[in-house]
Structure 1
Amino acid sequence: MELFISQNIQESKLSLTVQLFANYLRATSRKMVNLTPLTKITQQSLQLAHLPLLIKSTSDAQGQEQPVHTANPSSIMLEIARSVYLEEVLFGKPDSLTRLEILSFIELSIRLSPSDLATMINDHLSMKMFLVGHSITTADIVALAHLLHHFNELADHEKFALPHVFRWIDHVQHLPGLLEQVQQHNLFVSFPDESNSQPPSKSQLKKLAKAQASKEKKVGGESKAPAEKKAEVQSQTTNASQSTEATNNEEKKEAPKQEKKPKQQQQTKKQPAKKAAEEAIPEISQMDFRVGKIVKVWVNPNSEKLYNEEVDIGNGEIRSIASGLQKLVPIQDMTDAMCIVLCNLKPRNLAGHVSHGMVLCAETPDRNTAELLQPPAGAQPGDLVTFEGYERRPPDALNPKKNPWDVVAEKIKIDENGVALFESIPWTVTGKGVVTSKVIKNGVIH
């Protein structure tokens, strides 16, 4: 197999990922994989649109070998693991919950920013040595590759704020096959100095700034030639009398301006606030509601309330989601069911399962009966839910500190006809119809 990666791994985390993976399995030294780094110029001359790229030969129906190109990082690593007979060790058994969880972590590592990824898995690793199971898997290698640059840029006190992630990085980066690669690319994450476990105080920052300013002033003064200094002194002496008279005149002229200055400052302060208000996006416009289809569902083994689901949300994307519906919705009603999904919640760990979204339900006010919200007939996974009078402007992830979902949740309901409403506006799938509940009337939505 031929594996082409970007020569500049500082810019390509995916190339770094597959390189770490191949070397950890000794696939290159065993000559299972021929790894070739390419410059951008070479990549363009070979007309390779994406890197990393794996090319392997397979036999067609006539027995002739044909090259097969694979650019998906997960598929590349799966092929490498198979070549050294470690597929189940590093990916879990096919169709197992372990494999699903590993693939979920791979997806999150690629999609999330390094800071969000670090925060998310710091909580997950509080009682774990590895991300999935009791030994290293592909999930650990992929997450490590996406965090090495980030952790090398953190200050010591920032590393101390993520103790579980740092412990995990320190352990994984020392594993044989990974340590050599991490050191070779100057990505080894050093142990933080305990004396720097707290961020610098305001007074320390002021002292540092003052010392820096003094140093710059001193350097600037010393850089002047003696002749320049002498000329400067003479110039100051010659103009002293002129400047005194000019100063008196200027003070008279500037006196009225000083009275107006506070008003100008007030206007300047008001303008950003006014601009921010104009640019404020309504909470409902920030919701990324889509039609989904639950393609797989099972009981969470660590919870009496949660189902774990795989949900197709369109464009070939399968989301891992956990829903607290065990006691409200029978599992047979969840299987292969169409649903409505809030897709731009930040991923979080729920009872050992990574949940990246929310499946929405209609419920009676007493919360004793629930039903999945029903998309209109003909709706397909990925279809967007809209609200008349509001433009869809969802961010990639809702702000958890000031979560607009909390505001929207108080304004959504099921009316007496079973139609889902935001205030008095129906949830609509354009060209298909409105979102409804078959069973619940005058209910709430969660």
Structure 2
Amino acid sequence: MAGSTLDESVTAFLKNHASNDAFEETDPVKASQKLFPEIAYTDTEKAELSQWLITASHVGSNTEDAAKAAERLSTLNTHLSSRTTLLGAKPSVADIALYQHLASVVSKWSAEERTGEQGYHHIVRHIDFVQNSPLFGLKLDEKVHIDADNVVFKIKPIDAKAEKERKKKEKEAAAAGAVASGATPTTLTGDQGAEGKKSKKDKVKDKAQAAGDAVASTVVGKPGAPEGAPTKKKEKKEKQPKPQKAAPVEKPLSPSLIDLRVGHILKATTHPNADSLYVSTIACGDPPGTDNTSEFEGQVVRTVCSGLNGLIPLEEMQNRKIVTVCNLKPVTMRGVKSCAMVLAASPRVAEGEDSHKGPVELVNPPADSKAGDRVYFEGWEGEPEGVLNPKKKVWETIQPGFTTTDALEVGFDVEAVPQLSGEGAEKKTGVGKLKTAAGLCSVSTLKGATVR
């Protein structure tokens, strides 16, 4: 398969199982853009995309040497250990190509090969994600059977900082080993190689000779000042100012800066130190090793405090899908670190009235959505910030536009945010509906409510 085109097997798979007529494109970037029109790929990602298509064609090949195939699978599994998709977080046709080539292979793996101590946990997770996520929307007659409860060996989430430190120490150790063995650039080839074979005594002699030659050159080659004459002080070179680093490009204000995702509450309890708070354990689709996450029952989760005790029964907080805000700076609430926020609707109140008296209803994502699915407002698509800067008050500025409609849909009313709506003849109006790839987000009964 050429690096810049889709092979026939992938094209046929897209025709039978994917949407958007992506099979009509042989260029992987164009096919990806047709499948995921809201995603923008950088030049680096476009190059990676082509390389992953080549890897996908080899990794599932029956003609590969067993040792080589195992090495490829191991490398792929390590790559996916800290990524949701092959490109990191962005879906592409390469993920589908990998599924097409590996699905039949994974379906034959034993439980030990899938989830044993040396098993390919992350490949199995990726296969399950691609075949079931509405993000890819594959129409499959048969799927790889994956039993989430049959885990032979539970792996610990990767600590990104520890992994970085480990690689740094490995490099330092390798460099120290090279120095200890005398493997310097002067021991490589030609005359330099001969230099490396000299004895320690010869090297010392050569250094002394070089020093003598240097002294002689200053005496004979360059006439100095008469003896006793005052010497000139060397002029100090002016220090050149260091070039200023270019300031990072600031994204324009938009609801898309807020990282909204589908969350799955795995359990919720009352806060041990606050009567008004619940403490929820929520899966938000984070890859292993993400900051401010932990592991619960084999899933990467966030701990979230919400002021819903007394407003929503605790039993309604168990094992349900909600919408979470995932890029607010974590805050510690009465001794418990909260690493996200649960979106809920409540009636609008006049200034001075209690805004937390209720009633309150959680925002419901579409029934078919899964933890980690991206949630966004129509007309306001874009990449969210990693972590919102509290000083810039992005959440505080945008949130007043979050509302519910008469049809009980959640939306963003641009007129409620003057910084975005503008004034006069060019003033923007309208409500962009909150949605995922699977459909619209809604509330149960509250019309014209505020959502926060």
Q: Which TM class, normalised by the smaller chain length?
A: 0.3 to 0.5
**Relative contact order: is structure 1 or structure 2 higher (C-alpha 8 Å, sep ≥ 6)?**
2
TM-score normalised to structure 1 length: 0.40
TM-score normalised to structure 2 length: 0.40
Which structure dedicates a bigger proportion of its chain to helix? 1
